[in-house]
């Protein structure tokens, strides 16, 4: 029997479990894992120049593949660099296996410069965490990590791999472990919700999770037809939209608008989510949005199959079955002098290919585009889930690798794009069919809005300087081209329409810098 190293046991077991992609930014401690990946043809290894790109790509991959990708991270600092998009992935409730290299067990005693308490760093964003401190456990823990990433709810897991365990021969692979599925709402909860709806005057259901996936729009239409107002969370990991499908309203981001949206609701049902709250606290503004006196019934949180729960509730109510789609035609592109996120969205709605994936990190510009794409061809919206900007381009990388058959479009604010601009290099290296649209306003515009809303006072020179991206302005064309992605600047609707028409008719990575300020 051929003996294998601990690294080969880890990588081989994960491949046996079904892992097909690894987004990596390795260092010295991970060299034996790198060579193990070299000998495992079932896993596509993708180099990312920043760890936050690797974990964001794993998030996007899982959203579309329905299973985890592997990330390969270098020690504690590598994990910390990856942390923001691990946080976003946790909030997206997607499976993700983070393999973190560590110093050799025998080397830990020396407190080397790169040493850290990796377990303590990784614990807050890991739904499962273990270290392979014994060679005989390598394969078993790999299989356990894969299964644990499915939850429910699904989420990131962390497997720490000391270097000496990785290089030592004598390990064995483990058989794949069975993994859990999403939970199912009980019949009692379905009946309770149904009876409450029949007595409510203004019932509403707040939805996220599988009920927003492609194929579930008809279920939501049935609920709306039964008199239950259907509202989505502000941000969602994956939503099927366009092409005449039923489009539920979206809970506004700003607290005052969200409170106004829900003010008359006397029964709030929750499916695949939790009670709605503000992103931040503001003076004299409620932090929770559920109206005072309204009854709340949960059909299940992110750990529950919300599509199944709502379908069973619609059946209990004998809700009407409506046509799957309404008459739909592709809208005209925007024309005229106004060039802003709304007109950009109108043109995207015209040119967006059927089945496209749209990864949103547009911050202030994303909401108008979302509304405009209601009239676009069928597509999937991959929303910003955890609030940490720098998600959009990495999620687009992972989504494009999981679904190479369709065009992926990334919407990115210029500030957000700079967090993970290294994504462009990976798009070029892997020749991914991703169109990145950057909204260039040379500012952290959302922070200018928030500065006023928090009552922090009028900004002076120092505050304005911290909210501006000018002096010097970022040259997006030169930056993108230096990373291998062809790009162009546009400043009018006509220029954007021409650039967009070319970009969607060709395969491969492309960037359009939309100067809107």
How many domains are there within the chain? 3
In a domain, 182, yes or no: no
Q: How many CB atoms lie within 10 A of CB 281?
A: 11
The H helix count followed by the E strand count for the chain is 20, 20
Q: According to the model, what pLDDT value does residue 448 have? A: 65
> Which of 108, 116, 46 shows the shortest CA–CA distance to 81?
116
Q: Give, in order, the Cα–Cα distances in Å from 513 to each of 206, 389, 471, 500, 510.
A: 35, 18, 18, 11, 10
d(CA 342, CA 43): 41
Q: Could you tell me if 192 and 163 lie in one domain? A: no
Please work out, in degrees rounded to the nearest 5, the angle formed at the alpha carbon of residue 181 by the alpha carbons of 177 and 183.
140
DSSP 21: E
In a domain, 235, yes or no: yes
Q: Two tokens at 510?
A: 């492309």
Q: According to the model, what pLDDT value does residue 502 have? A: 97
Q: Could you tell me if 24 and 138 lie in one domain? A: yes
Residue 252 pLDDT level (bands cut at 50, 70, 90): very high
The continuous run of DSSP H or E covering 256 comes out as helix 255-262
- Phi/psi of residue 332, nearest 5 degrees: -75, 150
CB 287 within 8 A of CB 281: yes
In a domain, 234, yes or no: yes
Q: Could you tell me if 146 and 9 lie in one domain? A: yes
Mean pLDDT throughout 289-318? Answer: 97
Q: Could you tell me if 279 and 382 lie in one domain? A: no
Residue range 498-510, pLDDT digits in tens: 999 999 999 999 9
* Res. 451: pLDDT tops 70: no
- Which range among 40-44, 176-180, 281-285, 308-312 shows the weakest confidence by mean pLDDT? 281-285
Q: Could you tell me if 426 and 396 lie in one domain? A: yes
Full strand arrangement of the beta sheet holding 96-102: 44-47, 21-24, 70-74, 96-102, 156-162, 129-131
Domain boundary among 136, 171, 206: 171
d(CA 267, CA 68): 36
Domain boundary among 285, 317, 349: 317
Residue range 95-144, pLDDT digits in tens: 999 999 999 999 989 999 999 999 999 999 999 999 999 999 999 999 99
Q: According to the model, what pLDDT value does residue 282 have? A: 84
Q: Could you tell me if 369 and 308 lie in one domain? A: no
In a domain, 326, yes or no: no
Mean pLDDT throughout 422-446? Answer: 92
d(CA 46, CA 396): 14
In a domain, 382, yes or no: yes
The whole model's pTM is what? 0.95
Mean pLDDT throughout 218-227? Answer: 95
Instruction: Choose the most confident range, by mean pLDDT, from 105-109, 210-214, 466-470.
Output: 210-214
Please work out, in degrees rounded to the nearest 5, the angle formed at the alpha carbon of residue 57 by the alpha carbons of 378 and 9.
125
> Which of 9, 68, 2, 11 shows the shortest CA–CA distance to 34?
11
DSSP 443: B
Residue 445 pLDDT level (bands cut at 50, 70, 90): low
Q: Two tokens at 420?
A: 């993970």
Which CATH number characterizes residue 414's domain? 3.40.50.970
> Which of 438, 435, 312, 320 shows the shortest CA–CA distance to 379?
435
**What CA dihedral angle connects 498, 499, 500 and 505, to 10 degrees?**
90
Q: How many CB atoms lie within 10 A of CB 67?
A: 21
CB 390 within 8 A of CB 84: yes
Mean pLDDT throughout 376-399? Answer: 96
Q: Could you tell me if 482 and 354 lie in one domain? A: yes
Domain boundary among 145, 171, 197: 171
> Which of 85, 114, 112 shows the shortest CA–CA distance to 98?
85
Q: Could you tell me if 356 and 453 lie in one domain? A: yes
In a domain, 11, yes or no: yes
Strands 70-74 and 379-382: unpaired
> Which of 165, 201, 205 shows the shortest CA–CA distance to 185?
205
In a domain, 379, yes or no: yes
Residue 101, SS3 per DSSP: strand
* Res. 312: pLDDT tops 70: yes
CB 252 within 8 A of CB 261: yes
Q: Could you tell me if 391 and 499 lie in one domain? A: yes
Share the mean pLDDT of the chain. 95
- Which range among 172-186, 262-276, 354-368, 441-455 shows the weakest confidence by mean pLDDT? 441-455
> Which of 21, 515, 400 shows the shortest CA–CA distance to 392?
400
Place of tokens 């303590």: 120
Strands 379-382 and 239-241: antiparallel
Structural domain boundaries, residue 486 = 341-515
Place of tokens 């309404």: 326
Q: Could you tell me if 149 and 235 lie in one domain? A: no
In a domain, 288, yes or no: yes
Residue 1 pLDDT level (bands cut at 50, 70, 90): very low
> Which of 401, 390, 377, 375 shows the shortest CA–CA distance to 45?
401
């Amino acid at each position: 029997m051929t003996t294998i190293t601990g690294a080969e046991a880890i990588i081989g077991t994960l491949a046996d479990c079904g892992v097909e992609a690894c987004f990596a930014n390795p260092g010295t401690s991970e060299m034996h894992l790198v060579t193990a990946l070299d000998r495992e043809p079932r896993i596509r290894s993708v180099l990312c120049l920043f760890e936050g790109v690797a974990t964001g790509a794993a998030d996007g991959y899982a959203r579309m593949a329905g299973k985890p990708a592997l990330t390969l991270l270098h020690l504690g600092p590598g994990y910390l660099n990856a942390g923001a998009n691990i946080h976003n992935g946790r909030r997206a409730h997607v499976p993700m296996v983070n393999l973190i290299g560590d110093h050799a067990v025998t080397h830990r005693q020396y407190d080397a410069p790169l040493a850290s308490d990796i377990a303590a760093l990784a614990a807050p964003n890991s739904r499962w965490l273990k270290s392979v401190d014994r060679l005989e456990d390598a394969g078993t823990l790999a299989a356990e990590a894969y299964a644990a990433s499915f939850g429910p709810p699904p989420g990131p897991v962390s497997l720490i791999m000391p270097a000496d365990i990785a290089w030592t021969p004598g390990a064995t692979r483990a058989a794949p472990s069975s993994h859990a599925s999403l939970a199912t709402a009980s019949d009692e909860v379905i009946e309770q919700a149904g009876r409450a709806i029949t007595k409510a005057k203004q019932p509403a259901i707040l939805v996220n999770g599988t009920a927003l996936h492609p194929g579930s729009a008809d279920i939501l239409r049935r609920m709306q037809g039964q008199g239950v107002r259907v509202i989505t969370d502000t941000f969602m990991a994956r939503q099927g939209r366009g092409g005449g499908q039923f489009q539920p309203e979206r809970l506004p981001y700003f607290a005052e608008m969200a409170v106004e949206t829900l003010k008359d609701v006397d029964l709030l049902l929750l499916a695949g989510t939790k009670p709605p709250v503000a992103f931040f606290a503001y003076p004299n503004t409620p932090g929770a949005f559920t109206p005072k006196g309204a009854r709340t019934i949960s059909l299940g949180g992110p750990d529950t199959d919300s599509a199944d729960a709502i379908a069973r509730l619609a059946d209990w109510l004998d809700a009407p079955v409506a046509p799957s789609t309404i008459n739909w035609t592709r809208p005209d592109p925007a024309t005229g002098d106004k060039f802003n996120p709304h007109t950009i969205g109108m043109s995207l709605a015209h040119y967006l290919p059927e089945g496209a994936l749209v990864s949103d990190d547009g911050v202030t510009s994303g909401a108008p585009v979302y509304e405009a794409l209601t009239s676009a061809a069928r597509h999937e919206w991959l929303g910003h889930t955890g609030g940490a900007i720098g998600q959009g381009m990495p999620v687009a990388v992972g989504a494009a690798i999981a679904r190479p058959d369709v065009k992926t479009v990334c919407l990115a604010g210029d500030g957000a794009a700079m967090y993970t601009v290294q994504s462009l290099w990976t798009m070029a290296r892997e020749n991914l069919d991703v169109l990145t649209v950057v909204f260039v306003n040379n500012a952290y515009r959302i922070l200018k809005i928030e500065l006023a809303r928090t009552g922090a006072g009028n900004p002076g020179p120092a505050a304005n300087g911290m909210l501006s991206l000018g002096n010097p302005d970022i040259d997006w064309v030169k930056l993108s081209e230096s990373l291998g992605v062809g790009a162009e600047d546009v400043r009018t609707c006509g220029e954007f329409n021409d650039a967009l028409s070319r970009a969607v008719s060709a395969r491969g990575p492309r960037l359009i810098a939309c100067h809107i300020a």
